[in-house]
Structure 1
Amino acid sequence: MYRSLFPRDFFAEIDRLQRDMRQAADLSPSIRGIPREGFPALNVGSTDRALEIYAFAPGVDPETIEVTLARGRLTLAGERKAITPRGEDKPMRHINERFEGAFRRVMTLPDDADPDAVEAKLSNGLLHITVQRRAAAQPRRINVQ
């Protein structure tokens, strides 16, 4: 009696539609993934001497990455190119969890960040940005007389 009207798994298709709608509306992240503004994933930490930012950006060409610091805001922008063929030979996608396209992340830095001492290195898809703290903000020992 029951005949499938769907060429694929019904639940997989519903999951794909939900994911597409969530990305189109830029809703909050879910257990299934992160929205567009969540790429690249970041780890941010600090030491007494510097702020350490790690951006996980596999497949991003270093030439397309732009790191800028202006008015206390660090901006990380770039683009990850598509790796699947486009046009008539494009295969039908059933699952697409890899983000492709332009991205932009903005972070507000603390007041003691030194805009003249910023370093960025990309290695194996890991972008490491170090922002030194100003010398006046460094902890120092005060001798007691």
Structure 2
Amino acid sequence: MYRSLFPRDMFAEMDRLQREMQQALDLSPTIRGFGRGGFPALNVGSTSQTVEVYAFAPGLDPSTLDITLDRGLLTIAGIRKPSLPDGSRAGSDSPAAVHINERFVGEFRRVITLPDDADPDAVDAKCRNGVVQITVQRRASAQPRRIDIQ
């Protein structure tokens, strides 16, 4: 007989396609679903006065981050080093063997396009409990103002 144009289990077919794409593009799935370039996880939002960016980077030393703002592009870059440097455990002569490594290690870079009214001269960054908060003020000239009719 004829095969149906649509598979009976659409979700199983989507899983199969995802596995094939990962294999074809050499993407390794991770526990959190980050692809390459997906670290740190970001939340970006705005108010009428500011643009707020939250980068979630637990265990990362804030001094290793490079945060730049150029032509409306906010870039967060850095390196996350392995927790077992050179494969050896502190206080031991034998090398440590890593059996499962689900934590991202390596260089990362995230680029966020900011709105046109973001003020590059009014940026503040803070780090608390592994969360980097970047606040970019909006230009005052871009704020709506009421014009009186004479």
TM-score norm. by structure 2 comes to 0.71
Q: Report what 1:77 is aligned to.
A: 77
Cα distance in 2 for partners of 1:101, 1:84 equals: 13
Pick the structure with greater CA Rg: 2
Q: Report what 2:37 is aligned to.
A: 37
- Supply the RMSD in Å over aligned alpha carbons: 2.5
Give the share of equivalent positions with the same residue, in percent: 61
Unaligned runs of 5+ in 1: 1-17
Q: Deviations over 1:64-84 (max 9, x none)?
A: 101100111110001111112
Deviation of 1:137 after TM superposition, in Å, equals 1.4
Return structure 1 stretches of 4+ with deviation > 2 angstroms: 24-27, 29-32, 139-145
Q: Report what 2:107 is aligned to.
A: 102
User: Residues 36 and 99 of structure 1 are in contact (CA less than 8 Å); yes or no, is this contact kept in structure 2?
Assistant: no
Unaligned runs of 5+ in 2: 1-18, 89-93
Aligned positions, number: 123
Deviates more, 1:76-85 or 1:49-58: 76-85
Matched residue SS, 2:108: strand
TM-score norm. by structure 1 comes to 0.74
One-letter amino acid of the counterpart of residue 49, structure 1: Q
Q: Report what 2:9 is aligned to.
A: none
Cα distance in 1 for partners of 2:147, 2:133 equals: 33
